[in-house]
Structure 1
Amino acid sequence: MDITHLRARTPGCTETAFFDNAGAALRTEHVTNTVIDHLTLENRLGGYAAAEQEDDRVEAVYTSVARLLNARPEEIALVDSATRAWDMAFYSIAFRPGDRILTSRSEYPSNGLGYLQAKQRFGVSVEPIPDDKHGQVDLDALAEMLDQGGVRLVAVNHVPTYNGLVQPAAEIGALARRAGALYLLDACQSAGQLPLDVREIGCHLLSAAGRKYLRGPRGTGFLYVDREVVTTLEPPVLDLRAATWTGPDSYLIRPDARRFESWERGVADLLGLGAAVDEALELGIGPIRERIDTLAEQLRAGLSALDGVRVHDRGQVRSGLVTFTKDGRDTQHLVDGLRAAGVITLLSRPSAAKFDTHPEKPTEVVRASVHYYNTDAEIGRLLDGVAQL
């Protein structure tokens, strides 16, 4: 992997030492130009004619995303965010009173709100799965909960937002499949940094973002829906993209994952997403994962060696998200001070995860998420900044 070349294709690398890749990663010039080129085409031809002219390229995005996930193109829906993808999947499930939803304790707040709304609306039970000693889903506890019966859905995040771990997604999938439960994996922070093989993972549904580790435009996301279950899931909203109006009192919903799409969408951003996915596939998710892991462990070791700094990451397998605090220093002060020094991180709030009752969970942490285009020198800048603040 030629890091010098990759950084030269990423204009943002000349501006800052960028460590907010789990939020919205820096785009390459090619991705940005792909978006701009289509906007220029729309300016010349109008939105509809421009979309028709690029129809084959839009179709190719489905193929690229399917390759990323080892899925089929007809199992992919392209939407405007990971939130939209997750919502369309979750709210398509016909919950009944007494159904059980099992989820991770480190669940994203938006997803947690969806579970609680389903609890009030349908009378389902929402049950956080205990953590094991590493902080990830306790597989033995999950197996026991599934054996009790009545589980309609197992829904977990692949990479939590605030503690660096990677959930054992494939092992969770095997247990959920054995119990006959639907399995929804939120891969918004793992797509682009971890290999995602939906056949190996065993999920029925997977949602992801374009703006994070895939380095695509904001306002893009995608949903994978296993073709074995797609016709059992009715989208919470329909339009003429998702269904056909067949008569005064009848309609027919599409038989593939595009039943979860909307007619109106930003074609320029979708093409940008396709360009970003193609770049990731060209580099190879394996090499990307290896470099991210190396950089993340280097950063963890460097932070741990600093006086008063505590790294809060957990898990047997860890991601590119590195979280830490410094004794006697306000977290926002650290984030602001690093930004003033040209180092971009993020303040993350573990306190927002209300299912997580881990006694040592901090209220706030600094989150530094590395990507393959980060360098040893940039890690040194971050460490120097933390030491001096």
Structure 2
Amino acid sequence: MTLGCPECGALEDSSALAGRMLARCRVCHYPLERASGRSVGAALACSLTTFILLLPGNLSPLMTVHLLGAERSAVLGSGIASMWREHFELLAVVLGLTGIALPLARFSALSLVLAAVLWGWRPRWLGRCYRWTLWLDAWAMPDVYLIGCFVGYTRVTQQLTGSIDAGGYCFVVAAFMSMLTRATLDRRTVWRAIAPERHVAPGERVLSCTACDLIAPVEHAGRPCPRCGLKLRKRKLDTVSRAAALSVAAFVLAFPANLYPMTISYQLGHPVTHRIIDGVWELFQAGLWPLGILIFCTSIAIPFAKLAGMAWFIASVLRRSDRHLRAKTFLYRLIDELGRWSNVDVFTIAAFVPLIRFDGVANALPDDGATAFALVVILTMAASRAFDPRLMWDAAQARHA
């Protein structure tokens, strides 16, 4: 049985990988198989628990704060609804999808797929459904939302008295279970249960599916993959131009995202604006160095590092560079994994804005920098997802052809 490495395109004998705790691609060292601590049953238990706990986590109050005898409670969607009312519709849609709608869709669908695999049920739509759950993995962000809620709660309770409610505890556990689901999910075993890999005859010209890595004859290009339903292509379509356009758009928006205020607070009628760097400095001044470093890394360092990395990858393809291919492949994997965590700062706003609603005393609203920053995160994530790292290896081979 043969599969294609999703990062360099090399063909690997899957039978030689079976049973190994961690099997890497012989060319780029991508982890093709990771069996340690992973099983379909454990992933199903974690996924189903996450979905069940997300329901009260979304519907019940997360936290409550008190000021001068008044109190304010917030559910998970309170900040998003507040952004919509204040005419930040685009920001509200982005956070509503990534923080609420897509997590519910991902974990409900993933639970269904894993249950079907365990029970030996193989409907025709199973491969497509599983492909979509894996695609949603990057865009469903309950774990990122949890960190944002924690930072927001910490900032609020620096000046106010607060408490975590039942919905907050449910959401905390759901977010941790979502991370356990990622850690225990044996993706390759699930794909093989849906449809096994095939043998490749010596000299046969083949391509690998860009979603599930299934090998197919090159003549099948343009047909649906028999396992996941995605149209078979040797490489992702127009990957360099799409990744470059998305990266340039993110680079342009990075400046207003960092220069414009993310929030504006009213304290006894006096407006106070907060940029990303202001929030980091406030955390440092409050002695919360770990949180300050976390926000600096996720909101400032990582977005610009992602843009620099994407520029390096695109230049590598265009120049047909054959240098540092393994390092570039590893950096691409890191950028693709860490990109979602840049949304912590925007989720922080969604967490604390509905709690600061004490008319005449204190109030907080999102500002234009928040929308720009959320778009930077989404565009950089889309750029890394659009790029095909196998093109860097193709370009290096073409240089020596």
User: Same fold by TM (over 0.5)?
Assistant: no
Q: Output the TM-score relative to the length of structure 1.
A: 0.21
Q: Output the TM-score relative to the length of structure 2.
A: 0.21
Return the structure number with greater helix share. Answer: 2
Return the structure number with greater strand share. Answer: 1
